[in-house]
Amino acid sequence: MSAKTLTEKILSRASGKDVSPGDVIEAKVDLVAFHDLTGYHVIEVMEKANMIKVFDKSKLVIAFDHLAPPPDVRSAEIQGYIRKFVKSEGIPNFYDINYGILHEVMIEQYANPGQVILAADSHTTTSGAVGAFAQGMGASDIAAALITGKTWLVVPQPFKVVLEGKPAKWITGKDVALKLLGDFKADYFNGMTLEIFVKDPLSFPMDYRATVSNMGIEMNADALMFIPDQETKRYIKEMRGYEPELVTPDNGAKYVDEYTIQLDEMEPLVAAPHSVDNVKVVNELEGTPVDQVYIGSCTNGRLSDFEIAAKIMKGKKVKSRCIAIPASYRMFKEALERGYIQTLVDAGCIVTYGTCGPCLGGHFGIAGPGENIVSTSSRNFKGRMGSNEAKVYLSGPAVAAISALEGKITDPRVI
Amino acid sequence: MIIEGPVIKFGDKIDTDIIIPARYLKYTDPQYLAQHVMEPLDPEFYKKASKGVIIVAGKVFGMGSSREQAAIALKAAGVKAVVAESFARIFYRNAINNGLPVITLPNSTKEIDENSYVKIDVETGEILVGNKVLKGKGITEMALEILQAGGIMEYLKKMQTVNRN
């Protein structure tokens, strides 16, 4: 057997044969997940096919986040329908509206290095932060995986990214994700996986990794995985109390290409409307008026995001409307204990937890016509956060926080 | 499988928030979804598509969300197939799972004009425009079996029957 990349290693184990890029395989799945908005559709597909049967109840994770708390009767109806399924099928891993966003639940509680994880949401790639091959799929594919415990895949071409050095001031995972999008554009990694090797593991913590993996789908990669290392071990031990087994690529494994990012030379980046790959250095957009700022989502709703926002907002008042949403109860509570929430509330932000609302233009902060939004979420597609005539700028937490204070897009390096 | 019809053209990076905005995702009824398909770019699209059309688009058609409603809405509106330079992986699967043929063709938007009439062989990927034959990538292997079965769930039922016999 030749030297294998992480992608090939995971998919060889999952399919029980020695795989190479381009192979069409049937892979066993380790975890399947869905949330409220896609979950009802998954169950509907199973019902219509008369195949309400989950291959292994312990391997299904359900979290309510998109319609949480329900903004209308239909949303409440959808959640009620799923609660009924949870009860009738006896699904143990269920998180109602009071826990958090599915992808955050997955990395905090379930995802392990080397696993194959499928969920009915595109940002499933987030679990790549801990070195899992994690893909989003539609309702029918997820229903089929839930019934059989398997899925079919085309083995992607692995591409290696090396992160070197320590991040420059205010640089976090979002800037790395935006750099990859700006340098390669949204179509380049189609049919590929990204495997990210962090030279100095502790310089790039799990929060940052989760953001980059999350946006792997914006790069149209099949999966984006951080090669598991001591930071992966540290994180899972801290969150769940055990040390995971690390799955890593073999020495001499072959990649289609390799790309290095120097973290210490990076500048804060922003994706301008209406495309995730329309990436600019923040000072090119300085002075753009901002009506609303959103700090949160499965992309940037973690503790380090709130730490940065609190550092910047301490003792000041926001000029733009600012909505801040930690990605889970755990994140909210920790941010509360550390005083970050107090600081944000004192600065004039609205803070809650457990919803995806604003990110997808669902509820809790819809953009109106002509408004400019700075958001730490994952997408700035036309109409994404509400009106087709709104403009969404994507940034990391530092740019978002300082822009909320100034009421216009601002370079955090002025601080 | 041969499909034919007039062409409606779109550019690169047609994302799922364009195909079907999130506010409609609380429903899965194809006819309801069809009325809102492509709404951010062209609120009249479903009327134009109703007679049966073929979409020709550029790079990563269907990028973004996993919402299967994107494929359901296009098909219900009357779109018979999508020809694009490349497809987002999730959308590609959702299309197959809902019986919407997807054909990959490099330079598709340069090779095919708006309103031209095309004839497509879904398996070989051959596209006939006037007297020009373009060589696209059709649907092969497992995806073709799933498409022919009428989607992944139908495929699964068939497999279970086969395995039982």
CATH architecture entry for A267-412: 2-Layer Sandwich (3.30)
> Which of A400, A398, A374 lies closest to A168, judged by CA?
A398
CATH (domain of B67): 3.20.19.10
CATH classification number, A4-260, choose in 3.30.499.10, 1.10.3720.10, 3.40.50.2000, 3.30.420.40:
3.30.499.10
Residues of B in contact with A388 (CB under 8 A): 40
For residue A325, the number of C-alpha atoms closer than 13 Å in the C-beta half-sphere is: 30
Contact status of A37 with chain B (Cβ, < 8 Å): yes
pLDDT confidence band for B163 (50 / 70 / 90)? low
What secondary structure, in 3-state letters, does chain A show? CCCCCHHHHHHHHHHCCCCCCCCEEEEECCEEEEEHHHHHHHHHHHHHCCCCCCCCHHHEEEECCCCCCCCCHHHHHHHHHHHHHHHHHCCCEEECCCCECHHHHHHHHHCCCCCEEEECCHHHHHHHHHCCEEEECCHHHHHHHHHHCEEEEECCEEEEEEEECCCCCCCCHHHHHHHHHHHHCCCCCCCEEEEEEECCHHHCCHHHHHHHHHCCCCCCCCEEEECCCHHHHHHHHHHHCCCCCCCCCCCCCCCCCEEEEEHHHCCCEEECCCCCCCEEEHHHCCCCECCEEEEEHHHHCCHHHHHHHHHHHCCCCCCCEEEEECCEHHHHHHHHHCCHHHHHHHCCCEECCCCCHHHHCCCCCCECCCCEEEECCCCCCCCCCECCCCEEEECCHHHHHHHHHHCECCCHHHC
**SS3 call for B15:** strand
Among A37, A123, A141, most B C-beta atoms within 10 A, so best to mutate, is A141
Closest CA to A332 of A366, A303, A299: A303
**What are the structural domain ranges in chain A?**
4-260, 267-412
H/E segment holding residue B129: strand B126-129
A298 marked as part of a ligand binding site = yes
Total domain count for chain B? 1
Q: Tell if the CB–CB gap between A37 and B26 is shorter than 8 Å.
A: yes
pLDDT in tens, A265-313: 999 999 999 999 999 999 999 999 999 999 999 999 999 999 999 999 9
Q: Is A322 annotated as a binding residue?
A: no
| Token pair belonging to A77 | 């109806």
- Range(s) of the domain holding residue B124: 2-163
CA-nearest of B27, B48, B43, B148 to A37 is: B27
Candidate from A49, A218, A382 with C-beta closest to B17: A382
Residue A230: count of CB within 10 angstroms of its CB: 11
- pLDDT tens digits for A186-230? 999 999 999 999 999 999 999 999 999 999 999 999 999 999 999
Dist. CA A223–CA A13, nearest whole Å: 17
Residue A1 pLDDT exceeds 80: no
Please tell me if the domain spanning A4-260 has the same topology as the one spanning A267-412. yes
Closest CA–CA distance from residue B130 to any residue of chain A (Å) = 30
Cβ neighbours of A41 in B, within 8 Å: 28, 68-69
- Residue A63 bridge partners (DSSP): A35, A95
Torsion of CA B34, B38, B39, B45, to 10 degrees: -70
Closest B-chain CA to A153:
B142
| Chain A environment of B12 (Cβ under 8 Å) | 187
Measured between CB atoms, which of B13, B67, B157 is closest to A186?
Answer: B13
Q: Which residues pair with A157 in a beta bridge?
A: A192
Q: B97 and chain A: CB distance < 8 Å anywhere?
A: yes
A122–B93 CB contact, under 8 Å:
no
**Average pLDDT of the residues of chain A:** 97
Go through A136-173 and write b for each residue having 16 or more CB atoms within 10 A of its CB, e for each that does not: bbbbbbbbbbbbbbbbbbbbbbbbbbebebebeebbbb
Mean pLDDT calculated for residue range A344-350: 98
pLDDT at B19: 98
Which residue of chain A is at minimal alpha-carbon distance from B145?
A152
- As for the ipTM of the complex, it is 0.97
Q: Which residues pair with B118 in a beta bridge?
A: B5, B129
Which chain A residues have a beta carbon less than 8 Å from that of B13?
186-187, 275
pLDDT reading at B162 higher than 90: no
- Whether the Cβ atoms of residue A332 and residue A302 lie closer than 8 Å to each other: no
The CA distance from A401 to the nearest CA of chain B, in Å, is: 26
Q: Which of A303, A245, A220, A294 is nearest to A113 (CA)?
A: A245
Write the residue in A121, A147, A361 that is nearest to B23 by C-beta: A361
Query: How far apart, in whole angstroms, are the C-alpha atoms of residue A123 and residue A52?
Result: 25
Chain A interface includes B94 (CB < 8 A): yes
- Taking the whole predicted model, whether its pTM rises above 0.90 is answered as yes
> A381 to chain B, minimum CA–CA distance in Å?
7
DSSP B61: B
Contact B40 A138 (CB under 8 A): no
Interface contact B88, partner A, CB < 8 A? yes
State the pLDDT confidence band at A137, using cuts at 50, 70 and 90. Answer: very high
Model confidence at B165: pLDDT above 60 = no
Distance separating alpha carbons of residues A114 and A134, to the nearest angstrom: 10
Instruction: Give per-residue pLDDT as tens, B61-104.
Output: 999 999 999 999 999 999 999 999 999 999 999 999 999 999 99
Q: Establish whether A349 is an annotated binding residue.
A: no
